[in-house]
Amino acid sequence: MFLNFLTELRVAKIPASLKEHLTLLEALRADVIDFRVEQFYYLSRSCYVKDEGLLDRFDQVFGKVFKGIETIIDTGTAEIPEEWLRKVAELHLTEAEMADIQKLGSWDEIMATLKQRLEEQKGRHEGGNKWIGTGGTSPFGANGYNPEGVRIGQDAGRQGKAIKVWDKREFRNLDATVELGTRNIKVALRRLRRFARDGAADELDMDATVSGTAKKAYLDIVMRPERHNAVKVLLFLDVGGSMDPFIKLCEELFSAARSEFKHLEFFYFHNCPYEALWQDNRRRWTERTPTMDLLHKYPHDYKLIFVGDASMSPYEINYPGGSVEHWNEESGETWLRRMLDVYPAAVWLNPIPEASWGHGQSIQMMKTIMEDRMYPLTLGGLDGAMRELTRAR
Amino acid sequence: MRFEGTAGYVATDDLKVAVNAAATLRRPLLIKGEPGTGKTVLAGEIARSFGAPLIEWNVKSTTKAQQGLYEYDAVSRLRDGQLGDARVRDISNYIRRGKMWEAFTSPALPVLLIDEIDKADIEFPNDLLTELDRMEFDVYETGERVIAAQRPIVIITSNNEKDLPDAFLRRCFFHYIKFPDRSTMEAIVAVHFPDITGQLVREALNIFYDIREVPGMKKKPSTSELLDWLKLLMHEDLPLDVLKSRDTKTLIPPLHGALLKNEQDVMLFEKLAFMSRRGGGQG
């Protein structure tokens, strides 16, 4: 039962397993809900989705899989007699017929005409172009084709809701794949903090040592990770492009988490890092840090985070002299590889949505140089990037 | 046995379904949501509606999973041993029962609340997997096996500070309490203040939802803050015009202390009020 639903959920990357599915079936058998489609929606949502970030995706899958079902279940108590509105065969209109349909006019006019028609109408009517019913081309009624049509019956059922619960998509802004914004910046910050706490040294756990010693009757020394921040980060930000607002956001995000890191240094570059970087955008030409100095100054346990759209001409990456701003003796790729050789932990955060990465040649090149460690600037991406950075090497 | 909300708690349809599913199948129910949307209160209301005792286990950053089962107080046994106390012969004298043990052996069907599970160590939920699944555990020191006479109704709340492990999530029902919309909020207010005037609620809710919309707030006021504020408003018996006349001159709502809990937020509102006053003067 509903195996199709489970498959669709899994296709949409909602991690539902057989365990959840069996739970749902068990709940159905135990008569937890009465058989209304909203109740089924709530129950299945509660079973399958364990992360509010996936709720919106679930709503979409539910809408897709159970499309049309509500018309069978919904008995409808709209003002218009239900038999008129019962769904009839699919409407097949030719191009010409579609063109024939004239818009009636403004909303008020449509409502006024509707009222008039209602008074005139005596019986059920189907497929016409004036009377109220289903499958017609009149602007009134359901399932019809008219750009200005008024929906009656169908969804305006028992609870007077025009939109189905799952179609409202109330959880849209909880989705983990939306780009970072003011709403989810707090969550992102929390993830960064967690990242910052990792990898601390051990200290003596006094309480555990005392009770361990009492339990075993010999000296039992217990160590625990020190509550201390050990993560050191070099942040490289691409400035001077269309992605500046996102870069700014990212910069603020890391500044806010600054106290959590042991060290956090900002550097700026344009499009691709070359032989020099700068730390102050107003003095970007006068006070530059040679990249070579940077490689020598910061030890290899620093973690690199690049933020940029990686969208440029391929020459800017792989040819000497390819930079748009100055003459570079060595290609951007050479410099980037040099940095990656020194610092094994590195990621690239890209504000461009992941779906469009395939369209940019330079993005693909950058991704190859980064050995696929490129992540979108979303909560999910940030998570993945932090996980990559903390991975034991 | 069905949960339909109580006289003091407005439950939305989806919440009812989730609670009933968890209570019928006796699987844990994991509740998430913005702070102040009534996650913790829910467990108490479920207990009240089922007439069941509520056992609360408040989790802190130092809490270990083992503490919920039992603790073996080896230190006091060692001390008793040195003093020659006779109790020392029986190890069960030094076993202290935890909240889950209490819930498993409760004579009446209990509601067990594990509050703010995400506060604890990342391994905490994993350590409770089998115990929550089978509702039984062993006491190693005495060789005793504690088995739940009847599976308790388990409510777990989380504030999203840490991700919970997948294996743990698979065993739970999940519900996300979204911020109440206006009509739900009116119902909540009506439940808490039955004799409040409709007009006051309307004006107050207008202000409340406007405040929540202000961008850049550190801490958005939530349901519990709204209820406190309404209580204050009723107590002070302010004339309604004070609430109404907030167009441009006085952006800061009266008695804002109950709504804005953060200095920076109050400053933000003062700044906004100042700007709108200045803007009003020019235009």
Record: contact B172-A50, CB cut-off 8 A: yes
Record: contact B25-A38, CB cut-off 8 A: no
- Spatial CA neighbour of B42 closest among B10, B13, B20: B10
For residue A147, pLDDT over 70 is answered with no
pLDDT at res. B263: 79
DSSP classification of residue A230: -
pLDDT at res. A276: 87
Nearest-CB residue to B18 (from A46, A52, A214): A46
**Tens digits of pLDDT across chain B (283 residues):** 788 888 888 888 889 999 999 999 999 999 998 888 888 899 999 999 999 999 999 998 888 889 999 998 888 888 888 888 888 888 888 999 999 999 999 999 999 999 999 888 778 888 888 888 889 999 988 889 999 988 999 999 998 777 788 888 888 999 998 888 888 888 888 888 888 888 888 888 888 888 888 777 777 888 888 888 888 888 877 777 767 665 545 567 777 778 887 777 787 777 777 777 666 544 3
* Minimal-distance CA residue of chain B relative to A27: B21
How far apart CA B133 and CA B129 sit, in angstroms, is 6
- Spatial CA neighbour of B274 closest among B243, B252, B246: B252
Residue that is written with structure tokens 């509702």 in the block: B135
pLDDT at res. A53: 79
> What one-character-per-residue DSSP string does A130-184 give?
SSSEES-SSSBEES---TTPBP-STTS-TT--SS-HHHH-TTGGG-TTSBP-TTT
pLDDT at res. B57: 94
- Spatial CA neighbour of A365 closest among A289, A313, A292: A313
How far apart CA B111 and CA A318 sit, in angstroms, is 64
pLDDT at res. A229: 59
Record: contact A23-B166, CB cut-off 8 A: no
Give how far A6 is from chain B: nearest CA, Å: 14
Record: contact B17-A46, CB cut-off 8 A: yes
How far apart CA B145 and CA A123 sit, in angstroms, is 73
Q: Is A166 exposed, middle or buried (0-12, 13-18, 19+ CB in 10 A)?
A: buried
CATH topology of domain A185-201+229-390: Rossmann fold (3.40.50)
How far apart CA A189 and CA A260 sit, in angstroms, is 10
- Tell me which chain B residues have a C-beta less than 8 angstroms from the C-beta of A42: 13-14, 17-18
Which residues does B139 contact at the CB level (< 8 Å), separation at least 6? B69, B70, B95, B145, B146
How far apart CA A201 and CA A93 sit, in angstroms, is 72
pLDDT at res. A259: 65
Across chain A, what does the average pLDDT equal?
A: 71
CB within 8 Å of chain B, chain A residues 181-220: 182, 187, 190, 194, 210-211, 214-215, 217
Record: contact B17-A49, CB cut-off 8 A: no
Q: Which range among A186-190, A293-297, B276-280 has the greatest average pLDDT?
A: A293-297
- For residue B30, give both structure tokens: 């994991």
Q: Does A27 touch chain B (CB under 8 A)?
A: yes
Contact, B71 vs B44, CB < 8 A?
no
Residue that is written with structure tokens 């497929």 in the block: A127
pLDDT at res. A148: 43
| Continuous segment of H or E residues that includes residue A277 | strand A276-278
Q: Does A29 touch chain B (CB under 8 A)?
A: no
For residue A159, pLDDT over 50 is answered with no
A263-269 vs A223-225, strand pairing mode: unpaired
pLDDT at res. B161: 73
For range A215-229, the mean pLDDT: 72
How far apart CA A149 and CA B267 sit, in angstroms, is 49
Contact, B27 vs B134, CB < 8 A?
no
pLDDT at res. B68: 92
When mean pLDDT is compared across A134-148, A198-212, A302-316, A351-365, the lowest value belongs to: A134-148
pLDDT per residue as tens digits for the range A61-102: 888 888 765 544 333 333 443 334 333 333 333 344 444 444
Distances (CA, A) of A230 to A52, A195, A233, A302: 31, 10, 10, 10
Angle between helices A18-29 and A37-48 (to 10 degrees): 140
Give how far B5 is from chain A: nearest CA, Å: 15
Residue type at position B102? E
Alpha helices in chain B (DSSP H): 13-25, 39-50, 65-69, 74-83, 99-105, 124-127, 129-134, 166-170, 182-192, 198-213, 223-236, 240-244, 263-282
- Tell me which chain A residues have a C-beta less than 8 angstroms from the C-beta of B169: 50-51
Give how far A164 is from chain B: nearest CA, Å: 13
pLDDT category at A38 given cuts 50, 70, 90 is confident
Q: Does A173 touch chain B (CB under 8 A)?
A: no
Record: contact B176-A171, CB cut-off 8 A: yes
Contact, A264 vs A193, CB < 8 A?
no
Q: Let me know how many helices (H) and strands (E) chain B has, helices first.
A: 13, 9
- Tell me which chain B residues have a C-beta less than 8 angstroms from the C-beta of A174: 176
